[in-house]
Structure 1
Amino acid sequence: MRLTSTPRIEFLRTLAAEVLHNYGRGRTVIAIDGADASGRAQFAADLAEVLTEDDERNVFTASLRNFQRSQAERNRFGPATPERHYRFGYDYSALRRVLIEPFRLDGSAGFVTEHFDADRDTWIEPTWRTTSADAILVVEGDFANRPELRGLWMFSVLLETDPVTPEDVLYLADVTPREIVDAVIINTDPAAPRRLFLDRC
C-alpha cells in the first residue's frame, strides 16, 4: 500500500531506493544504529514499511534488545556498570546463530527475530520463520557497528544524537561509527530527518 507522502516518508523513500538499487536481490540485512532507542526503533519500523509499499517484498524487523544476555550471565562479568553493559550485555553469538546466519542462507533455513526478553529476564519461545529468496531484514539496536558485528550488515545507518548514557560515550570512543556506516542521519526532528554527507577523502 502506498503511504501518505510527508517529508519523513519521502526521505525514507530516497534511502530505501538507494538500498534497493545496491541490494535489490537476495537476502539483505540493514542495521539502524544510534543512541536514541525510541527514535531508532521508530525509524527502523518506518523504513521497513516504506520498503514494502510498492511490491510484495518480504521485510522483517528485529531489535538487538532481544539478544541481550540473561542477568545471571551478565553477573559473571562482575558488578553492574556501564562498561559491563557495553562490553558484555549482549549475546552476539546467539544473534548470529539464530537470526543473521540462517536469514542470509538462500534456502529454507528457519530464523527467529527475538531470543531473550530483557525486561522479564527470560528466554522467548522461538517462532521460526522462513522467507523468499529476495528479502530484507532491518535490525536496530545499541552499538550496532561495534567490532563484533562488522560484516553482518550490507547497509548501515547511524542516527546521530548527543550521547545520553555512559555506554554511548564508551561506544563512540571505541568505534567512531560515523566513519564506518553507509549513511549518517540527523534525526533530531523526526518529522524531517536529514542526511549528513561526510568528506572521507
Structure 2
Amino acid sequence: MMLPPTPRVLALREIVAEVRALAPGGRVIVAVDGGGGTADFADDLAVVFRESGVDTHRASVSDFHRPRADRTFFGPETPERYYRDAFDYSTLQRVLLDPFRMGGSTGFQTAAFDEVRDAPLTSRWETSGPDAVLVIDGEFLLRPELRREWNASILLVNAPERAVYEEEARPRAFATILVDASDPLVPVRVPRNEPA
C-alpha cells in the first residue's frame, strides 16, 4: 500500500533510499537516536520501509531497561548514572542484536523489560527472512559500545541530549543522518556543516 506523499513521508522515503544504498540487502539495523520523539519517528520510518516491500521489525531501547532497584542501588538516579546504568545492553545484544544479525530461522526478542511495571517481560520470539530491517529507537544509541552495531543511524538533533552523553559519545559526529524533527510533519535533513 502506498502512503500519501506528505512532506513527512517524502522525507522518510529519502532516508529509506539512503539506508538501502548503504546496506542493499541482508539483515539491516537502523538506530533512531535522540533525547525525545524517537519512537514516533522510528514507527513511521518502519512503515515506510514496509511500504518499500521490506520485512521490517521495531524495537525500542526503552524495553531493555534495568530494574529500578539496580539503577538506584547506590543512591538516587542522577543524569550521569542514568546514562551509565539505565539500560541492559548485554540483554539487548544477546536477545535482539546478535540473533537478528544471524538471519535464517534464529529467533530474536524485540523487548525484554517493562519499565512501567518494573518487571521482565515474557519472552516473545520473532523470526524473519534473510532480508529484513530492524528499526530501533531510544536514547544513547550512539554511545561508543553500540555505534558499530548499526548499519545506519539517524540522530534527531532538535531534542536536547544529556550533557554527559554529548560530551562522552559525541552522537552528532557519528550519526549517519542528521534530522531536525522539531516540526514532526516536516522533518528536515541537517547538513553536517550546519549547527543544530
1:184 aligns with 178
Counterpart secondary structure, 2:51: coil
The number of residues matched between the two structures is 194
Q: Partner residue of 2:192?
A: 198
* Matching residue's letter, 1:42: D
Distance in 1 (CA, whole Å) between partners of 2:160 and 2:22 is: 31
Alignment of 1:53-64 (within 5 A): 53-55=51-53, 57-64=54-61
SS in 2 for 1:80: coil
16-25 or 113-122: which moved more? 16-25
Which stretch shifts more, 72-81 or 96-105? Answer: 72-81
User: CA RMSD, aligned part only?
Assistant: 1.4
Tell me the residue number matched to 2:7.
7
2:73 and 2:151 mapped to 1: Cα distance?
Answer: 33
Give, in whole Å, the separation in 1 of the partners of 2:143 and 2:27: 22
In structure 2, distance between residues paired with 1:23 and 1:185: 20
One-letter code of the match for 1:67? Answer: F
TM-score, structure 1 as length reference = 0.92
Which amino acid in 2 is paired with 1:45? D
Q: Deviations over 1:114-168 (max 9, x none)?
A: 000011100000111110000000000001101121211010000012527xxx1
Query: Which of 144, 150, 153 is residue 147 of structure 2 equivalent to?
Result: 150
Aligned residue for 2:3, secondary structure, equals: coil
Query: Are the aligned partners of 1:103 and 1:110 in contact in 2 as well (CA < 8 Å)?
Result: yes
Instruction: Tell me: CA distance 1:97–1:77, structure 2 relative to 1, closer, same or farther (3 Å).
Output: farther
Runs of 4+ in 1 over 6 A off after TM superposition: none
Structure 1 unaligned regions, length at least 5: none
Correspondence for 2:93 among 91, 96, 99: 96
Trace 1:19-168 onto structure 2 (pairs within 5 A): 19-36=19-36, 39-55=37-53, 57-163=54-160, 168=162
TM-score by length of 2: 0.94
Aligned in 2, Cα 1:162/1:26: closer, same or farther, shift over 3 Å?
A: closer
CA contact (8 A) 2:22 2:151 kept: no
Shift of 1:77: 4.2
- Which amino acid in the other structure matches residue 46 of structure 1? D
Deviations 1:76-116 (Å, cap 9, x if unpaired)? 34432221111111100000000000000022111000000
Q: Residues 75 and 106 (structure 1 numbering): CA distance in 2 closer, same or farther, change over 3 Å?
A: same
Deviation at 1:67, TM superposition (A): 0.4
Sequence identity (%): 43
Contact 2:34–2:159 (CA under 8 A) maintained in structure 1: no
Does the C-alpha gap of structure 1 residues 95 and 162 become closer, same or farther in structure 2, counting only changes over 3 Å?
closer
- Pick one of 159, 165, 168 that aligns with 1:171: 165
Kindly provide the amino acid, as one letter, of the partner of residue 150 in structure 1. R
Query: 2:20 is aligned with what amino acid?
Result: L
Tell me how far apart the structure 2 counterparts of residues 178 and 13 of structure 1 sit (CA, whole Å): 22
